[in-house]
Chains A and B, each alone.
Chain A
Amino acid sequence: GAVVSQHPSRVICKSGTSVKIECRSLDFQATTMFWYRQFPKQSLMLMATSNEGSKATYEQGVEKDKFLINHASLTLSTLTVTSAHPEDSSFYICSAKMGRSNTGELFFGEGSRLTVL
């Protein structure tokens, strides 16, 4: 089956630093990728929709200057948490849509756990 890889799987950083998380579709092209965050024992909340070659679409309440999303190629989207603070600590999960049509299947990465000290 299709594979989506996230890196790093775990990252610990100091408050005020920036952290980049990568989401790669390893064996298919993904014109659209989605970024979610998940707090402990809670559901996944959609943060933004990332389209290759264009600006990401952010969900209401998500700071686009705080969470920078870049989708520069058909196999890679990155999420950068800028000036991270402890409240940004969370589990971040990406999903990638195979193909260009609205019927393309979604595949999820393994998630990246961010801890901000």
Chain B
Amino acid sequence: AQSVTQLGSHVSVSEGALVLLRCNYSSSVPPYLFWYVQYPNQGLQLLLKYTSAATLVKGINGFEAEFKKSETSFHLTKPSAHMSDAAEYFCAVSDTAGGKLIFGQGTELSVKP
């Protein structure tokens, strides 16, 4: 069975500050890991994904995440937050690149001016 835990349901940062959203996973097989962003009343947009290639994954909008097997983590970071980054972020795991996704609880990111 697979599962995802996102630490912190709400993270608040100042504009220009580092963004760090935490994700830990559990998987009995090599995982495929994803980060999605959701704006209010909209679907999900893929930020980045780990599919067993490079452990440091770069995504859209300046986001990146590092796969750390020893820590079973896949934390999302961005060096400098923008107001437009305020949204809900979901970490997800799958046993294949195109299989069903198991989502974490989500982290709401607020960006203060």
Contact = CB atoms under 8 A, between A and B. Distances in A.
Q: Do A and B come from the same complex?
A: yes
Interface of A: 4, 6, 32, 34, 36, 41-46, 49, 91, 93, 95, 97-99, 101-106, 108-111, 113
Contacts, number: 58
Contact of A102 (B36, B96, B102, B105): B96
Nearest to B104: A43
Contact of B98 (A6, A44, A93, A106): A106
Most buried by B among A44, A91, A93, A98: A44
A102 B99 contact: yes
Interface of B: 36, 41-46, 51, 90, 96-106, 108
A4 B36 CA distance: 16
A56 to B, nearest CB: 12
A36 B92 CA distance: 13
A93 B99 CA distance: 16
Given A43-B105, A46-B102, A102 B43 contact: no
Given A102-B99, A104-B97, A113-B41, 20 more contacts: A32-B98, A34-B101, A41-B108, A42-B106, A43-B103, A43-B105, A44-B44, A44-B90, A46-B101, A102-B98, A103-B51, A103-B97, A106-B98, A106-B101, A108-B36, A108-B44, A110-B42, A110-B43, A111-B41, A111-B43
